[in-house]
Amino acid sequence: MMRLDKYLTLCGFGTRAQARALLRAGRVRIGGEPARNPAQAVDEQTVCAWVDGERAQYRRALHVMLYKPAGILTAARDARRRTVADLLPPAYVARGCMPVGRLDMDTEGLLLLTTDGQLAHRLLAPRRHVEKVYFAQLDGPVDEADCAAFAAGLALGDFTALPARLEPLPGQCAARVAVCEGKFHQVKRMFQARGRQVLYLKRLSFGGLALDERLAPGAWRDLTDEEAAALYAAAEGKQNGGALLQPKPDVRA
C-alpha cells in the first residue's frame, strides 16, 4: 500500500507536486470517480487508476549505481552547480530517483540512487550496520594504533563515531576504511582526529555492492535484480561481514 500521489509519481506522472496538481484538477479517476485525495491509500498491485484517460502503469522501483566524479554535487537539484541528477536520464529524476546519502563534492566513487525511499532510509540507518568502504589517500602513513582507535570509536567533538574498520595499505600513504554511518565529512574527520589529512577519497562499495569497474566517472547503470536483492538483504542487516578486503585495491591513473 502507498499514498496515491506517490503511486502516480512511480507510474511516471511527474513529481509529487505535479501528481497532486493532477489530483486537484480532477484528472485522475479510480473506479470511474475522480480521485482528489493525495493521501488516499492504494494497493499498487491492484489499483486501476486513469490519468486523462490513460491507464496508470505501476513500475518497479529503480535502483541505480553511479560513478560519481569529483566536482559534482550530491543533490537532486541546485540552482548553480551540476548535480548527480544531471547525470541521470530525466525520466529517472521525474520518477524520484534520489541519492542514498551524500558524497562530498571532491569525493568520487559509488553513489546509489533509488526510488525506494524506505530502502534508502534503511541503508543509511547506523543501527543497521550497512558498511560503506572507502579508499583514502593520506598525507602520511597509518598504523596499528590508528586501526585500534578506529575500531574503538573515535571521539569527533560533537559525536563519537561508531567502531570502524581501518586497513592500512602496505607501503603506501593510503588505507581502506569501512564505516556504518555517514555523518558530514565523516571519514575525513576520522582521519583528522588521528592527525592525518585525506587527500583523495573514493567510495568503493556500499552494503557489499562494489562499484562496477567498467563504469567511467560520470557513468551509471541500473542494478541487476540480484544486486537489488542483495541490497535489500543488506538493508535488513543480512550483509555478511568481512567485506573490507573484497573490493579490489584502487588503482589511480
Rg over CA atoms, the chain:
21
Interacting residue with ligand URA among 188, 196, 228, 239 (CB under 6 A):
188
Per-residue binding string, ligand URA, 124-163, x by CB under 6 A, is ----------------------------------------
**Catalytic site includes residue 104:** yes
User: Does 197 engage in binding with ligand URA (CB under 6 A)?
Assistant: no
Cell 562530498 identifies what position? 104
Burial zone of 44 (CB within 10 Å; 0-12 exposed, 13-18 middle, 19+ buried): middle
Amino acid letter, 31: G
Measured CA to CA, the distance from residue 7 to residue 29 in angstroms comes to 13
Under the binding rule (CB under 6 A), the answer on residue 187 touching ligand URA is: yes
The label of the residue with cell 576504511 reads 177
The candidate with the shortest Cα–Cα distance to 207, out of 183, 192, 220, 223, is 223
Is residue 201 a contact point for ligand URA (CB under 6 A)? yes
- Indicate the residue among 56 and 201 with the shorter CB distance to ligand URA: 201
Q: Give the shortest CB-10-to-ligand URA separation in angstroms.
A: 29
In the Cβ-directed half-sphere of 64, how many Cα atoms lie within 13 Å? 26
Count of residues near ligand URA by CB under 6 A: 8
Which CB contacts under 8 angstroms, 24+ apart, belong to 17-24? 22/51
Among the listed residues 5, 78, 104, 225, the single catalytic one is 104
Nearer to ligand URA, 97 or 198 (CB): 198
Does residue 185 interact with ligand URA by CB under 6 A? yes
Q: At 87, give phi and psi (nearest 5°).
A: -90, -10
Nearest CB to ligand URA, comparing residues 34 and 195: 195
Q: Which residues partner with 65 through β-bridges?
A: 112, 221
Q: Site for ligand URA (CB under 6 A): which residue of 9, 186, 205, 239?
A: 186
Is the CB of 51 or the CB of 110 nearer to ligand URA? 110
Give yes or no for residue 66 binding ligand URA (CB under 6 A): no
CB of residue 253 to ligand URA, shortest distance in Å: 20
CA–CA dist 187, 174 (Å, integer): 13
Question: Active-site positions?
Answer: 104
Provide the binding-site residues for ligand URA, judged by CB under 6 A.
103-104, 107, 185-188, 201
